[in-house]
Amino acid sequence: MADFDDLLAANHAYAEDFTLSGFDGIAHAGVAMVTCMDSRIEPLEMIGLQAGDAKILRNPGGRVTDQALVALVLGVNLLRVNRVLVVEHTRCAMASSTEDDLKGRIADSSGSDASWMTLGAIVDQENTVRADVLRVRTHPLISDDVIVGGFIYDVDTGLLRPVV
Amino acid sequence: MADFDDLLAANHAYAEDFTLSGFDGIAHAGVAMVTCMDSRIEPLEMIGLQAGDAKILRNPGGRVTDQALVALVLGVNLLRVNRVLVVEHTRCAMASSTEDDLKGRIADSSGSDASWMTLGAIVDQENTVRADVLRVRTHPLISDDVIVGGFIYDVDTGLLRPVV
């Protein structure tokens, strides 16, 4: 594990001041967010929350995939989630390239043909957010009482723009 | 959008001190982490990183799903990821209940039969981490130069325990 020594040393420092011992896994603010894996995104900080408050799902683009739906079903029914934010963001690699372009760039980098993969490039972010919010709202195991909103996060201003 | 007024007000406050404007989407520390959606987990903080440093993938349990593999292929080939951490955690709801038990609790909460869903309960966390690390290491579009480690994060101490 020497390859991770720097990160594990940082982890030991983190654990020295650890304050979350004994905390439960409930979403104490009742919030779940589906957002992108992008390194610029601070999911909790951007809405003023902290550790313990929210369930955070992250994948390329911030999509409501089948698995994100499973996560939200668990969150809503078992972990006290009552509000869901679907958050895509500006300058997202998944929304600023075509599927073929992404595959081409992966092939150039890896030296292997990536044609067989489905990457999930996003053609229209606003429409995608609307469709993804609808997927949550209509799910048979997510109560109509759950509030679902769709947003686009501006990585250059830090602001969330409501879409739906 | 009145239902999100509190979070949007917090977002405006966040944006007032925003310092990431103009930042790119590269993982500046070369790190990607696959971990759970659990509200107790602080992915960046636990390894001493900050915004801009890492790609973070989160789903129930912290599994290397097909979609997480897509994310890692993108991260490794296009976004300068060269180290991957697969991080499950102690007291995880996905690893402390059976699939049937989780479905039963969802049915109790929602009033609807959840038998049709696949939730992905984890039977053996260490073996799951090992298998998930292997999925990353053997992927044809993820270079052998990429370092992949598997860990279990203790939500009561803040410590990462290397598994593989």
Give residue B31's domain range.
Answer: 27-162
**Cα–Cα distance measured from residue B67 to residue A65, given in angstroms and rounded to the nearest whole number:** 9
pLDDT at B62 over 90: yes
Mean pLDDT value of segment B105-126? 96
> What's the CATH number where B139 sits?
3.40.1050.10
- Measured between CA atoms, how close is B19 to chain A, in angstroms? 8
In a domain, A106, yes or no: yes
- For chain A, what is the mean pLDDT? 96
Q: What is the pLDDT of residue B52?
A: 94
The pTM assigned to this predicted structure is: 0.97
In a domain, B2, yes or no: no
In a domain, A58, yes or no: yes
Which two structure tokens, joined as six digits, stand for A110? 């890896």
Percent of chain A surpassing pLDDT 70: 99
**Cα–Cα distance measured from residue B57 to residue B72, given in angstroms and rounded to the nearest whole number:** 9
Mean pLDDT value of segment B68-91? 97
**Which band of pLDDT confidence, cut at 50, 70 and 90, is reported for residue B2?**
confident
Q: What is the pLDDT of residue A1?
A: 61
Q: Which residues fall within 8 angstroms of residue B99, CB to CB, at 6 or more apart?
A: B118, B119, B120, B121
Amino acid letter at A103? K
In a domain, B12, yes or no: no
Q: What is the pLDDT of residue B49?
A: 97
B22: region left, alpha or beta (phi > 0 left; psi from -120 to 50 alpha): left
Mean pLDDT value of segment A67-74? 97
Q: What is the pLDDT of residue B63?
A: 98
What is the domain count for chain A?
1
pLDDT in tens, B122-161: 999 999 999 999 999 999 999 999 999 999 999 999 999 9
**Is the minimum CB–CB distance between B109 and chain A shorter than 8 Å?**
yes
Contacts of residue B160 in chain A, CB cutoff 8 Å?
7-8, 11
pLDDT in tens, A120-131: 999 999 999 999
- Measured between CA atoms, how close is B40 to chain A, in angstroms? 5
Which range is least confidently modeled, A24-28, A74-78, B37-41? A24-28
**Which band of pLDDT confidence, cut at 50, 70 and 90, is reported for residue A140?**
very high
pLDDT at B1 over 80: no
- Measured between CA atoms, how close is A11 to chain B, in angstroms? 5
Percent of chain A surpassing pLDDT 90: 97
In a domain, A153, yes or no: yes
**Is the minimum CB–CB distance between A127 and chain B shorter than 8 Å?**
no
Mean pLDDT value of segment A93-116? 96
Does B57 sit within 8 Å of A14, measured CB to CB?
no
- Looking from the CA of B68 toward its CB, the CA atoms found within 13 Å total 28
**Is the minimum CB–CB distance between B144 and chain A shorter than 8 Å?**
no
Q: What is the pLDDT of residue A2?
A: 82
A118: region left, alpha or beta (phi > 0 left; psi from -120 to 50 alpha): beta
**Cα–Cα distance measured from residue B125 to residue B146, given in angstroms and rounded to the nearest whole number:** 23
pLDDT in tens, A49-70: 999 999 999 999 999 999 999 9
**Which band of pLDDT confidence, cut at 50, 70 and 90, is reported for residue A100?**
very high
Task: Tell me which residue in A1, A39, A67 faces B59 most closely, judged by beta carbons.
Answer: A67
Where helices occur in chain A by DSSP H, the ranges are 5-16, 66-78, 99-110, 125-137
List the end-to-end C-alpha distance of chain A, in Å, as a whole number: 46
Mutate: best of A11, A19, A37, A154, partner B, most B CBs <10 A: A37
The ipTM assigned to this model is 0.97
In a domain, A31, yes or no: yes
- Looking from the CA of B74 toward its CB, the CA atoms found within 13 Å total 31
A163 contacts A151 by C-beta, under 8 angstroms: yes
- Measured between CA atoms, how close is B130 to chain A, in angstroms? 14
Q: What are phi and psi of B160, to 5 degrees?
A: -90, 130
pLDDT at A98 over 90: yes
pLDDT at B94 over 70: yes
**Is the minimum CB–CB distance between A68 and chain B shorter than 8 Å?**
yes
Which two structure tokens, joined as six digits, stand for A124? 């229209």
Residue A100 CB neighbour total at 10 angstroms: 12
In a domain, B73, yes or no: yes
- Measured between CA atoms, how close is A38 to chain B, in angstroms? 6
Which two structure tokens, joined as six digits, stand for A34? 């589906």
**Which band of pLDDT confidence, cut at 50, 70 and 90, is reported for residue A13?**
very high
Q: Report the helix count and the strand count for chain B, using DSSP H and E.
A: 4, 5
Q: Report the helix count and the strand count for chain A, using DSSP H and E.
A: 4, 5
* Displacement of CA B155 from its chain's centroid (Å): 14
Strands (E), chain B: 31-36, 54-59, 83-89, 147-153, 160-162
Q: What is the pLDDT of residue A33?
A: 98
Does B15 sit within 8 Å of A114, measured CB to CB?
no
Q: Which residues fall within 8 angstroms of residue A56, CB to CB, at 6 or more apart?
A: A32, A33, A35, A43, A44, B37, B39, B58
In a domain, B16, yes or no: no
Mean pLDDT value of segment A21-31? 92
Contacts of residue B162 in chain A, CB cutoff 8 Å?
1, 4, 8
pLDDT at B97 over 90: yes
